[in-house]
Amino acid sequence: MPNFAIPRLSRTTISRGTVSRTTVAAFLLRLAVSSFLLSPPIAAVQNPHAVQLIQAKADASKKPQTPAQISVIVPPGSDLYVAQRGDSIPSVARKYLRRTKYLTSTEVAEAIRAANQNRQGVFLKSGEQIIIPGILESAIVEKSVPVARDFEVRAIYLTGVMAGSDHGLRIIRHWREVGGNAIAFDIKDSDGIVNIAFDHPLATGQHHYISDLPKFIHFLHSENMHAIARIAIFRDEHLVTTHPELAVKSRSTGQPWRENSKLVWTDPSNSKVQDYDIALAKFVAQSGADEIQFDYVRFPAEGDQKDAAFSYQAANEPLNDPQQPLPCHPERSEEPMRSSAPPAALRGISTPDPATKSNPCSVHPQMQRSDVIANFLDRAYAQIHPTGALLSLDVFGVMAWQRPVDLAHTGQDIVAMAKHCDVLSPMIYPSHFFGMDGIAHPGDEPEHFIGESMDRFELITKNSGVVIRPWLQAFAWRTKTYSPQYVEVQIEVAKQKGGIGFLFWNANNDYSKPYTAMPEMQAAKNKDRYFRGDEVGAKPEPATVTPVASAAAPTIAPKTNNVETGLTPSPSDGAHNPQKIWRH
């Protein structure tokens, strides 16, 4: 501290009154100067942070400087995305899914993390730069991979929801690992919902579970898998709900007809319905599918059949008179059918002129349901086959018995249908043959029902050139013996009886038993008794097994009230009715 002397006035001086004005002024000046010089140190002692506070206020008034953006090198085939407020890695992945090579947004998200130094966390900071890998220069255009109609397919079925999911991709890869070479996946199931983007005025019910069909098929091809696109044809719940004018009509009310109280059936003879399904099939084939598979290519088999009216029948037939004679109503025909000839030939009905196929009943009022189905398939095959894709048809297993009542209801004349497709896939699940052949528990007799069905189908399609590739059972319904061995028995018997390949059905897409069975069959010393082992792109080995057909296929079987199952289920089966799992 500076050493300033503070002047003092002596008592003597003051008392004597001898202080001059000059002296007093000098005294006051010195006192003021000393007070000014001493005040900063005193203030500093009282508030040592005063200087810092003043400096902080000054700094706060200045605008913050934005740090310079770090230059990010974007690899080829990638994009740089600058995050916006609220962005997350999953949301960005969904934005980019269609532009990338990946099949699901989860795959995109994982690729984003890997491309950005294993970026952790979910949310992105505003302004954060992230690399998006796997960007496509243009949309994938996929073409069918041609195979012969007798290519040995080893397939499982996937719903559209499953096929477009991460779990579905794992199923596909695992099926390939255990020896599968094909996937049958839904384009449109019987609910009528289309699982892909398809521009058509009747395709109003769409859920794009398969977000990019050519990309999905490209993935299957990259795994050397045969792509089978399944389309439910005439059972279309969404279509009849949104367009009741396309439904089967009730004769008694003139309103849409219901099968067991359910409004699910379009009119198979309606030209608009047929054209819609053919357009969808053709679009899918042009998107790269190797095979189009038609399911529900039939008329309704249950419900009040006499009350159902179709557009192929006489146009002047009154709908409100159920007693009116119907010359073309197949249920009223008592003439027996023979398995060696199509029903049209048996009744002397000429084949419809191709020029009138879109409205055949305007010229042929005597047509039957089987003629309508054959006519439709003729038109569909003519448009699908030039794309390079095969056409396969799912048919009832019970049709092998050639019973008139089954043919009259469904219209599935196997002989006629075989002329307009490459592959027939009968659904010969053992558990579905209720009471057939006097067997109380058909689900526990796979060898018998697979063998008998295949014998009959081979016999009635003899010399047609069509391939018989059966649907086999991959579920435990109505059987206590379902196991990997159950799977193996079905495959072995089907092949011994002339079948080429197989498809496994499980509505829940649970194929744990086939997963176990496939490696066991491949490891067997005589594995060729199960399958040849055809692969996509490889020339198949010639067939070594001659079909074993029975001497004759009986045309008469025990009476039945249910075409889907054989005989009417016994009372003991009633508890299983809510678990009805067949979809054809």
| 526-to-298, 346, 487, 523 alpha-carbon distances in Å | 40, 45, 17, 9
Partners of residue 434 on adjacent β-strands: 566
| 268-to-104, 259, 264, 380 alpha-carbon distances in Å | 36, 14, 12, 13
Q: Which structure tokens are listed for 565?
A: 């199952």
CA distance 181 to 505: 15
Q: Please report the pLDDT score of residue 434 as a whole number.
A: 87
| 528-to-423, 524, 525 alpha-carbon distances in Å | 22, 9, 9
CA distance 371 to 470: 24
DSSP codes joined into one string, 220-253: HHHTT-EEEEEEE-SB-HHHHHH-GGGBPEETTT
Q: Please report the pLDDT score of residue 84 as a whole number.
A: 96
Nearest to 449 by CA among 423, 471, 424, 421: 471
pTM > 0.85: yes or no: no
Q: Which structure tokens are listed for 85?
A: 């407020």
Half-sphere exposure of 492 (CA within 13 A, CB side): 18
CA distance 244 to 266: 8
Cβ distance 417 to 395 under 8 Å?
Answer: yes
Query: Torsion-angle region of residue 110: left (phi > 0), alpha (psi -120 to 50) or beta?
Result: alpha
CA distance 370 to 414: 9
Q: Which structure tokens are listed for 162?
A: 């499953």
First to last CA, the chain: 106
Q: Please report the pLDDT score of residue 39 as a whole number.
A: 52
Nearest to 499 by CA among 397, 406, 384: 397
Residue 359 DSSP class: S
Q: Tell how strand 502-505 and strand 154-158 pair up.
A: parallel
CA distance 102 to 355: 46
- Using CB atoms within 10 A of its CB, is residue 464 exposed (0-12), middle (13-18) or buried (19+)? middle
Task: Delineate the domains of the chain, giving CATH numbers in brackets.
Answer: 79-132 (3.10.350), 154-579 (3.20.20.80)
CA distance 533 to 140: 30
pLDDT per position in the chain (584 positions), as tens? 445 444 444 444 444 444 556 665 666 666 665 555 455 544 444 444 444 444 544 455 555 554 555 678 999 999 999 999 999 999 999 999 999 999 999 999 999 999 999 999 999 999 999 999 999 999 999 999 999 999 999 999 999 999 999 999 999 999 999 999 999 999 999 999 999 999 999 999 999 999 999 999 999 999 999 999 999 999 999 999 999 999 999 999 999 999 999 999 999 999 999 999 999 999 999 999 999 999 999 999 999 999 999 999 954 354 444 333 333 333 222 232 233 333 332 223 233 344 444 444 444 558 999 999 999 999 999 999 999 999 999 999 999 999 999 999 999 999 999 999 999 999 999 999 988 899 999 999 999 999 999 999 999 999 999 999 999 999 999 999 999 999 999 999 999 999 999 999 999 999 999 999 999 999 999 999 999 999 998 754 544 433 333 333 333 333 333 433 333 333 333 333 333 334 44
CA distance 578 to 275: 34
CA distance 260 to 76: 59
Cβ distance 466 to 421 under 8 Å?
Answer: yes
Half-sphere exposure of 508 (CA within 13 A, CB side): 9
